[in-house]
Amino acid sequence: MEVSLRRSPLATRPADLLAVGVHEGQKLSGAALALDRATRGAVRAVLAAGDFRAKPDDTALLYPKGVRAKRVLLVGMGPRAGSGPAQTAAAAARAAREARELGAKSLAVAVHEGDAPSEQEALAIGEGLVLGHYRHTAYRRDGKPPVARAEALASGSVAKTAALSLARGAVRGEAVCLARDLANTPSQDLVPDRLAARAREVAKAVGAKATVLDVPAMERLGMGCVLAVGRGSANPPRFIVLDKAPTIAPPKGARPAPVVVVGKGVTFDTGGYSLKPREGMGKMKYDMSGAAAVIGLFAASATLELPFRLVGLVPSAENMVSGGAVKPGDVVRALDGTTVEITNTDAEGRLLLADALGYAKRFEPGTVVDLATLTGAIAIALGRAAAGLFTRDDALAAELVAAGEAAGERLWRMPLWDGYLAEMKGETADLVNSNEKREGGSCTAAAFLGHFARGLRWAHLDIASTAWTHGERADSPKGANAFGVRLLVRWLEALAAARA
Ligand code: BES
Ligand code: ZN
Ligand code: ZN
């Protein structure tokens, strides 16, 4: 979908669908008022009938006289007070989704506050249009024809910077869609080596370096945990390293340390010999959602100016059952030398992350953030409303929570008390990978990771509660939603601003 910003009165612009944002309340203004005038009161009539109240999820489809567009969609934006980029993005997403469902080939939108969108609004519109338009159609014969062209209309003069921001927003949206496509892909077609190939493509496109460690390379390094998880599969594990140099000079005298993001890349999780129940096992193709978020972040990094090096680490494996698979009771040695008794082969994500956190240290990072669909227990604790945030660093917690709020990707802080790690101490080996208790499952998993993150400024996001959407949302259909990409983009943006 091509996205652009154009100065044009909304009444005279031809389009298959014209979408106009309407705020709740007595007085019409901006685009809604202009539309009402052009159509001799069509907007007021719908509001007066009570069929459309301009609440955030309200829409109304009209076929009025007085505009050149084939149809008009009123998009509710809620009250004007407190409305910001998030509301603008949601309205743009809603418009793009309806356009797609209507089979519209061209879409024009006016969902911003004034005569022309501000930079922030333009960014939100670009991102929202692309996200709302997203469907995973690779495996369908009836994927509706997508909208070819989407324009944001401005009645006033358009600043060059706004046009650039719109394009930037669209690139970010596409990065999120790329991550969604990765996670939605059936595991048969996204084995570790294929995930590595996709990561390489993204790296190339954004000027980052990609290095992929194969089994012999991991053996040489001593990544016993990744190797153990991958051993049961015909599709061997990979360890993917993405590395992007700073894109702007740091302030004089400053040498900002690299930021490392780590994503769990289990392309399918059967549980291994600690086999999962059959119900819902198909969802475990999403067990590489953390990896997808990291790769999506690199795709979005084209829109970021960072004064520090950005490193992405993706340990990837398929957790399978076979004659060669790891068995409960086996003991492995992690990259940092810690020995781990694998008491439960289904607690594989923490094993992959253990080696990735060990590997992260070689970059002497300022901060490390990992994203992982790590535990079912996090959804028991938080429902689907938030991902779990675990860190010992209060400032880092505040940074990430704020970024999540701004992105519409909520985090809720969870504890990392010492007692949880005590539960993971082993008898045969230094640690066990599961204490075989359900209570506090997300916290003991995080504490296990904390052992391997010793000395790092580190946060862990357990995204098992949020990585895929169960019902439709304006900005995401059912399925993988690439949780984390937008959050990380905003977090890095804030970090860069603080250091610039
Ligand atoms: N990939 C799962 C976690 C998961 C479960 C993600 C449901 C999304 C939805 C992870 O590898 C796992 O199996 N964790 C176990 C840990 C247990 C064995 C200690 C779990 O959550 O049951
Ligand atoms: Zn598992
Ligand atoms: Zn898993």
For residues 162 and 4, give the distance between their C-alpha atoms in angstroms, rounded to a whole number: 10
Q: What pLDDT, on a 0 to 100 scale, did the predictor assign at position 471?
A: 87
Mutate which of 320, 346, 439, 466 for ligand 1? The one with the most ligand atoms within 8 Å of its CB, which is: 346
**Which has the closest alpha carbon to 183: 282, 301, 304, 320?**
282
Measuring from atom 7 of ligand 1, which residue has the nearest CA?
Answer: 376
**Residue 45: partners with Cβ closer than 8 Å, 6 or more residues away:** none
51 CA to centre of ligand 1 in angstroms: 45
419 CA to centre of ligand 2 in angstroms: 23
**Residue 401: partners with Cβ closer than 8 Å, 6 or more residues away:** 389, 411, 413
Ligand 1 atom nearest the C-alpha of 445 is 19
434 ligand 1 Cβ < 6 A = yes
**Residue 389: partners with Cβ closer than 8 Å, 6 or more residues away:** 397, 400, 401, 411, 412, 413, 414, 459, 460, 461
Ligand 1 atom nearest the C-alpha of 377 is 21
For residues 375 and 377, give the distance between their C-alpha atoms in angstroms, rounded to a whole number: 5
And the tokens for 21?
């944002």
- List b or e across 346-382, with b for residues whose CB sees 16 or more CB atoms inside 10 angstroms: bbbbbbbbbbbbbbbbebebbbbbbbbbbbebbbebb
375 CA to centre of ligand 1 in angstroms: 4
Ligand 1 atom nearest the C-alpha of 266 is 1
Return the ligand number nearest the Cα of 388: 1
Q: Which amino acid is at 468?
A: W
For residues 11 and 286, give the distance between their C-alpha atoms in angstroms, rounded to a whole number: 44
Tens digits of pLDDT across the chain (500 residues): 999 999 999 999 999 999 999 999 879 999 999 999 999 999 999 999 999 999 998 999 999 999 999 999 999 999 999 889 999 999 999 999 999 999 999 999 999 988 999 999 999 999 999 999 999 999 999 877 788 999 999 999 999 999 999 999 999 999 999 999 999 999 999 999 999 999 999 999 999 999 999 999 999 999 999 999 999 999 999 999 999 999 999 988 888 999 999 999 999 999 999 999 999 999 999 999 999 999 999 999 999 999 999 999 999 999 999 999 999 999 999 999 999 999 999 999 999 999 999 999 999 999 999 999 999 999 999 999 999 999 999 999 999 999 999 999 999 999 999 999 999 999 999 999 999 999 999 999 999 999 999 999 999 999 999 999 998 888 889 999 999 999 999 999 999 999 76
For residues 429 and 450, give the distance between their C-alpha atoms in angstroms, rounded to a whole number: 17
- Mean per-residue pLDDT of the chain: 96
345 ligand 1 Cβ < 6 A = no
Strand bridging mode 238-244 / 367-372: unpaired
Answer yes or no: 276 catalytic: yes
Q: What pLDDT, on a 0 to 100 scale, did the predictor assign at position 500?
A: 66
56 ligand 1 Cβ < 6 A = no
Measuring from atom 14 of ligand 1, which residue has the nearest CA?
Answer: 375
Measuring from atom 17 of ligand 1, which residue has the nearest CA?
Answer: 347
448 CA to centre of ligand 2 in angstroms: 15
Cα-to-chain-centroid distance, residue 255: 29
pLDDT tens readout for residues 372-429: 999 999 999 999 999 999 999 999 999 999 999 999 999 999 999 999 999 999 999 9
Return the ligand number nearest the Cα of 286: 1
373 ligand 1 Cβ < 6 A = yes
Question: What values do phi and psi take at 297, rounded to 5?
Answer: -60, -40
DSSP symbol at 140: -
274 CA to centre of ligand 2 in angstroms: 9
Tokens 């590595």 sit on residue: 196
And the tokens for 82?
């407190």
Answer yes or no: 350 catalytic: yes
Return the ligand number nearest the Cα of 346: 2
Mutate which of 281, 344, 375 for ligand 1? The one with the most ligand atoms within 8 Å of its CB, which is: 375
Return the ligand number nearest the Cα of 445: 1
Based on DSSP, count helices (H) and strands (E) in the chain, helices before strands. Answer: 15, 20
DSSP symbol at 495: H
140 CA to centre of ligand 3 in angstroms: 27
142 sits in the region (left: phi over 0; alpha: psi -120 to 50; else beta) called: alpha
pLDDT tens readout for residues 82-116: 889 999 999 999 999 999 999 999 999 999 988 99
Residue 11 burial (C-beta neighbours within 10 Å; 0-12, 13-18, 19+): middle
| Per-residue 3-state assignment (H helix, E strand, C coil) for 463-491 | CCCCCEECCCECCECCEECCCCHHHHHHH
Of the candidates 135, 276, 410, 457, the residue annotated as catalytic is 276
Question: Residue 237, Cβ neighbours under 10 Å: how many?
Answer: 29
H-assigned helices in 134-262 = 160-184, 192-206, 215-221, 224-230
For residues 89 and 75, give the distance between their C-alpha atoms in angstroms, rounded to a whole number: 12
Give the residues across from 431 on adjacent strands.
340, 425
H-assigned helices in 327-387 = 349-360, 377-382
pLDDT tens readout for residues 258-274: 999 999 999 999 999 99
For residues 95 and 18, give the distance between their C-alpha atoms in angstroms, rounded to a whole number: 9
Tell me the CA end-to-end span of the chain in Å, nearest whole number: 34
402 CA to centre of ligand 3 in angstroms: 27
